[in-house]
Structure 1
Amino acid sequence: MADGTPPHGVQRVAGEAGASAGAPERARGGHPEHREPGGGWGALGRAAQRGRAASPVRGGVPGPRQEYLAAFDGQEGPESPKSPRSPHSPHSPHGPEGTARPNGAAPAAQRPDPGGVRPPDDGEHVEPEPEPEPEPAGALGPAGGKSRTFAGIVAAAVTTVLAVVVAGQVAAGPKDDDKRARSSEAVERDDDAKASLPGKRPAAPKPPAPPTYEEKLATKNPLSPTLRGPNTFTTVPGHDKAPGRGDVLRYRVDVENELPLEAKLFAQAVQKSLNDERSWAHGGERTFERVSSGDADFVISLASPGTTATWCAKSGLDTTEDNVSCDSAATERIMINAYRWAQGAKTFRDDQMAVYRQMLINHEVGHRLGHDHEGCPRDGALAPVMMQQTKLLRTKNATCRVNAWPFPDAKNAKDAKGAKDAKGAKGAKGQ
């Protein structure tokens, strides 16, 4: 050719080392990378491998421009009209780092030249894009693509149905909960509205009323019959004035320490019992006043069985046999056995605890006033208050009924007298 470029060959390189006049021109074909040091088109190939633009390396002749190479990279070969070949694909004549093709691979010069024209070789070897690999045996063709499309449509439909069902269930739950919550709130508002109306608000439950004196006096308390206290006493504070006429007898109430009994109840029972019309205040002969300080005519003491026995022994009395009480006349103390006060006696029924306690007080104070023991006068009669009712109710052939008062009929007589006086006054008023 006139321009020195043979058909389908490569351009001569002027000034190349080792060229001489008349030497045959080196045509592209075969594997020149096998003959050049460094493997792969000399220095220009190594520069291309490092990603740099080609630079003049052979006798000052510049290499191909990058945009020129990029134009050939975009060409489509006849073997794969729709699949561009990557320079680093497995079918490239060089590996990812520009290494030589393994033995047995077809040289680039033996492949069909796209379009019948090859660009001049300026020192850079540009290979056409590799052919796409054939699909493996058994791969789906056009029919397989339709099958995949149909399967995809079915899977999408099933997924959509499931999503709709789940979404409906999720959406239904909160709505039902909201309905129930709104219904509950409406009921509460109705209740609040009703409660706010006059006369419609439910009354708050009243706290249980504290037990009355009569209820506490009739209730048993647990206590050991062998209990022995510290033999120390505390005076019940307070002052109860004498309510009646006659001689005033002042007394003090002491309760032994560490007793699990109510001291105030005991003091209240003494005051009420002694000043009852049926008791020793009968007829206005005397009246009783409780004091907590100053002089006292006697001391009524509530003490454990052991301490009671100690004080009664000072007056020559033995209370250990039947665990009874006593008037220790040699001392200032009238001893009320706490076990008897708490538990009563077998001669009294459980529903007669209040009667028994009143009897204990009146019996022992009667000793202090100078009265001795008595027996049952006749069968079926009320027992005299000075009878030892803690031990028995029978004397010889007569059995009495329990009684707490020296003058048990006094109240009835007083009530009868009061009723008669009221009737007479009414009649006089009517005349």
Structure 2
Amino acid sequence: MGRHSRKGPKSSGPDIEAATADAGADREAVRPVPGTGRRRRSVEAPAGSDGHTPFQQTGHVRGGHPEQREPGGGWGTGLQQLHRGDDHRPGARPTAQQQAAAGRQQSTGTRPLVPGPRREFVDAFDAPPAPPAPPAPRGPSIPPPRPADPSTSVGERDEQPPGGGTDGPAPAKDGKGAKGRTFTGIAAAAVTTVLAVVVAGQVTQDNGGGTTSAQPSGVDRLGPDGASRSDDRPTPEPVRAKPLSYAQKMAKAYPLAPELKASGKFEAVPGTAKAPGRGHRYRYRIDVEKGLGLDAALFARAVQETLNDDRSWAHDGAMTFERVSTDDPDFVITLASPGTTGEWCMKSGLDTTEDNVSCDSAATERVMINAYRWAQGSSTFGPDKLFAYRQMLINHEVGHRLGHDHVSCGTRGALAPVMQQQTKSLNIDGIKCRPNAWVYPPS
């Protein structure tokens, strides 16, 4: 135990002896309430043989430091009686006021009275309840620890509550204070565990632990070697639309105005197509008016395949048709605008402008196919039978060149003859027939 360095006048011997005898008789120990720690010289105490003046009724403080507490604690200034079995710490140094009070009590021969509560504690219970505090922000928070008092010993700091124990009564170890401290410790440990789990998850995310963080727009994602990850991926090939088949093209409508008058100049479709049959051979050329914007190759293929079909004029090997691109064909099948078609048909005395139809200009070498009808079809066939209508248009006009005149349907509901004017109507003299594209349709 360390020595106290406090010195002062001697106290009277009888007072000390009386206080000692009174304490021994009741087997009680008077514990002074810790004070402010200020030094006062109002009471004299006898000095020892070595010049040291000890305090009365106190032991030595562990570590050689005085215990510093607010005068009176939570129950006012004065001496408190601690019975046997009370939880007290020996060695606390009494203040000068406590020494003076002890002297007065010893001189009068009365026992120290238990002091009443301090006024501010009584007012705290009588005051109306405070309004509820505003809700705290979400998220766990841990209050920062208060610095330890350097003047207290290690053992005392372990026993001090979190608030330091200087502004109120010391909480009982077995009361609500101990439970509160236990609950606070458990809550702090739980919050610390949650924070540790959150931090560990964030570290795992940052280190590529199975999650992908959002990348800012316009920033390349780089691989370990600094190159963009897209460099390792194959470059996707551009999507190419599948070309339409011949049948699909023949069933598709194309835009063209019914009153169009194009350039009036023609251009022969290059190339040839051999006659497939063994009958009489007809040689023809195909001309297309410039400026139409239609597929000339599609038109040329349609003419060759239609005329040489067994359902057409080449039926049963009667004749065959060959496409040429020279200047000496038997006739020229011409695809022209409505205006140009009308001019060439008028040369043979035929008016095609009334119903915007085609014709065989017999006075000339041209079989005129109206480009509007080729592109848009006719209401008699409808938009879903454009393929068949175009085959009928070729067979009908070439039939005129082969010497066949118009023929009307004679049986209601039967297929219309290919030489009937099916572009104009399928109902002739009250007999309505069905549309038909072939000279020899299948039975």
**Under a length normalisation based on structure 1, what TM-score does the superposition of the two structures give?**
0.50
| Structure 1 or 2: more helix by fraction | 1
**TM-score, normalised to structure 2's length?**
0.48
